[in-house]
Structure 1
Amino acid sequence: MLLYEALIAPFTEFEFMRRALAGIVALSLGGAPIGVFLMLRRMSLVGDAMAHAILPGAAIGFLLSGLNLFAMSFGGLIAGFTVAILAGVVSRVTELKEDASLAAFYLVSLAVGVTIVSMKGTNIDLLHVLFGNILAMDDQTLLVIAFNTSLTLIVMAVIYRPLVIECVDPLYLRTVSRAGAPAHLAFLALVVINLVNGFHALGTLLAVGLMILPAGIAKFWARDITGMMLVAVGSAMLSGYAGLVLSFQTRVPSGPAIILVAAILYIASLLFGRAGGVVRKLFPGRHLEA
């Protein structure tokens, strides 16, 4: 009975908890596979930079329309795509590498976005933009997240083969096919779309958390890409569910609670994961084999 009251009752009794859980499921299905490919392509920090890059656009949407879902979403998408394109252009016409140009743009974007929100909004508005509030998600926001997740899964199914091949042997892909560049651009678009998804639920500072941490967890439990994606989705959902329960039972904010649970899972995987965990490497005996 105590377990029911702690783990299930919050979702059966409160609609906002059910809505938040549905949002977590959608974010996990769309964002976790994207995170796996970011990790495999050594673009994890690019995802973090892009998460901050959407802030000025969302802030301008906020400045014009307040906390309006579509204005902030559209502004975030435009800002994310603009920064991605500018970083690529700068890296090609100068000697600056793409990661360095992204870092510069993301710092400028973060400062501009915080300044814009601070000029019109209150401290509460700023906290909402930076850290989100998944418990305050309404039906409209949930539908937008669900639509973006569906679009992500469809596009991922189309570009899956060139993405996988590029992770393994990009030179081979350029030799046998011209699909590499379109697939890369489509993948960057999916990154931005899922960061906007995460922005509405977890804020700009934590939006990338349910993409990168589950991918890191999956790396310690599976060696093939399909297995990594399944583990990443499962761990993202588990982190979201446990984080919501933790937030409901304590005074920890929902967004940080979700990311903290994911961080605990990551540390446990780092230590005990069957595919490269610390304990596995220190004691590679037969008793640890599957």
Structure 2
Amino acid sequence: MLREVLFAPFSDFEFMRRALAAVIALSLGSGPIGVFLMLRRMSLVGDAMAHAILPGAAIGFLLSGLNLFAMTTGGLIAGFAVALLSGLVSRSTGLKEDASLATFYLASLAIGVTIVSVKGTNIDLLHVLFGNILAMDDPTLLMVAFNATLTLVVLAVIYRPLVVESVDPLFLRTVSRAGAPAHLIFLALIVVNLVNGFQALGTLLAVGLMILPAGIARFWSRDVTPMICIAVASAILSGYIGLVLSFQTRIPSGPAIILVASLLYLGSVLCGRVGGVLPQLFPGRHLEA
């Protein structure tokens, strides 16, 4: 009985195997990005960028259908346009950068929804907003895997300046000029991975596979490398259980994955050994001098 519930969907149906492979690829790319977003206190920036890419990704979707290259190109253009415009406004006026970014991403979200509503159908709108990982085809899966691989390779190159800047940005500026290029490259990786999750989870949920696993990892480790490993593992686990839940019930696959990740996050809040509620209420014995 347990085998039929947990393993039969993937052994019997090819589309479920594709979906699981996509979840693993997305987790490998989004997990480390989410950890650095959290360490750099940019979690809300990731959410804003997820909405900012919508117009470009929607235009690419309407022009080329489920063509991840077209959606990635459009999303990158829209995401960088919003980032540059919000930065320009914050430097030219007295408006704070977070307020400027919030204004532009809300306008971008409204423009994207309008484009899909006017030019597409209700099904297109639902697909853009919430995705459909069960409809993943081979070319899209290969593109997702390529973007995840590219993310891991680039992160390995800029890993040290990212870690140092997350801990002590002033020290990095005094000893190296790698901080600014690493930050720009990191922003590009955020957009790439958000668009990567566009087909699977939609623009409204793609950021969930970044932020929630990173939040889970934060309650189980203080070191960056273990946090990245825990984030990736929890994202894969959320994807696997979410796909099984979606297959056995009528819950859409994208929301099911994010709901499972949310439950894991709540469990970590309660039981996590680093700042969890229960460990703080009932601390273990400590060695006494």
TM-score relative to the length of structure 1: 0.96
Hey, what does 2:238 align to over in structure 1? 239
Whole-Å separation in 2 of the counterparts to 1:86 and 1:74:
18
Q: Deviations over 1:50-69 (max 9, x none)?
A: 00011000122233334433
SS in 2 for 1:285: coil
Q: How many residues align?
A: 286
Question: RMSD value over aligned CA atoms?
Answer: 1.1
Whole-Å separation in 1 of the counterparts to 2:22 and 2:31:
13
Deviation, structure 1 residue 81: 1.5
Hey, what does 1:117 align to over in structure 2? 116
Hey, what does 2:169 align to over in structure 1? 170
Q: Deviations over 1:122-147 (max 9, x none)?
A: 10110000000000010111111111
Q: Does 1:202 align with 2:201?
A: yes
Hey, what does 1:82 align to over in structure 2? 81
Whole-Å separation in 2 of the counterparts to 1:244 and 1:64:
29
Hey, what does 1:269 align to over in structure 2? 268
Q: Which amino acid aligns with 2:79?
A: G
Q: Does 1:216 align with 2:215?
A: yes
Identity percentage of aligned residues: 80
Q: Which amino acid aligns with 1:218?
A: A
Deviation, structure 1 residue 246: 0.2
Hey, what does 1:36 align to over in structure 2? 35
Hey, what does 2:139 align to over in structure 1? 140
After TM superposition, list the pairs within 5 Å mapping 1:10-25 onto structure 2. Answer: 10-25=9-24
Identify unmatched segments of 5+ residues in structure 1.
none
SS in 2 for 1:183: helix
Hey, what does 1:3 align to over in structure 2? 2
Q: Which amino acid aligns with 1:118?
A: S
Q: Which amino acid aligns with 2:241?
A: A
Hey, what does 1:279 align to over in structure 2? 278
Q: Which amino acid aligns with 2:41?
A: R
Q: Which amino acid aligns with 1:192?
A: V
After TM superposition, list the pairs within 5 Å mapping 1:247-258 onto structure 2. Answer: 247-258=246-257
Deviation, structure 1 residue 157: 0.5
Whole-Å separation in 1 of the counterparts to 2:96 and 2:34:
22
Q: Which amino acid aligns with 1:37?
A: F
Deviation, structure 1 residue 77: 1.4
Whole-Å separation in 1 of the counterparts to 2:254 and 2:126:
11
Identify unmatched segments of 5+ residues in structure 2.
none
Q: Which amino acid aligns with 2:92?
A: V
Whole-Å separation in 1 of the counterparts to 2:240 and 2:69:
27
Deviation, structure 1 residue 119: 0.7
Whole-Å separation in 2 of the counterparts to 1:73 and 1:174:
32
Deviation, structure 1 residue 116: 0.3
The worse-fitting range, judged by mean Cα deviation, of 72-81 and 29-38 is 72-81
The worse-fitting range, judged by mean Cα deviation, of 80-89 and 49-58 is 80-89
Q: Which amino acid aligns with 2:108?
A: S
Deviation, structure 1 residue 228: 0.6
Whole-Å separation in 1 of the counterparts to 2:58 and 2:240:
29
Q: Which amino acid aligns with 2:59?
A: I
Q: Deviations over 1:241-288 (max 9, x none)?
A: 00000000000000000000000000000000000000111111229x
Hey, what does 2:71 align to over in structure 1? 72
Contact 2:218–2:274 at 8 Å: present in 1 too? yes
Whole-Å separation in 2 of the counterparts to 1:45 and 1:104:
13
Contact 2:67–2:140 at 8 Å: present in 1 too? no
Whole-Å separation in 2 of the counterparts to 1:18 and 1:108:
37
Whole-Å separation in 2 of the counterparts to 1:188 and 1:148:
14
Whole-Å separation in 2 of the counterparts to 1:31 and 1:64:
27
Deviation, structure 1 residue 91: 2.0
Deviation, structure 1 residue 220: 0.2
The worse-fitting range, judged by mean Cα deviation, of 258-267 and 87-96 is 87-96
Whole-Å separation in 2 of the counterparts to 1:191 and 1:237:
19
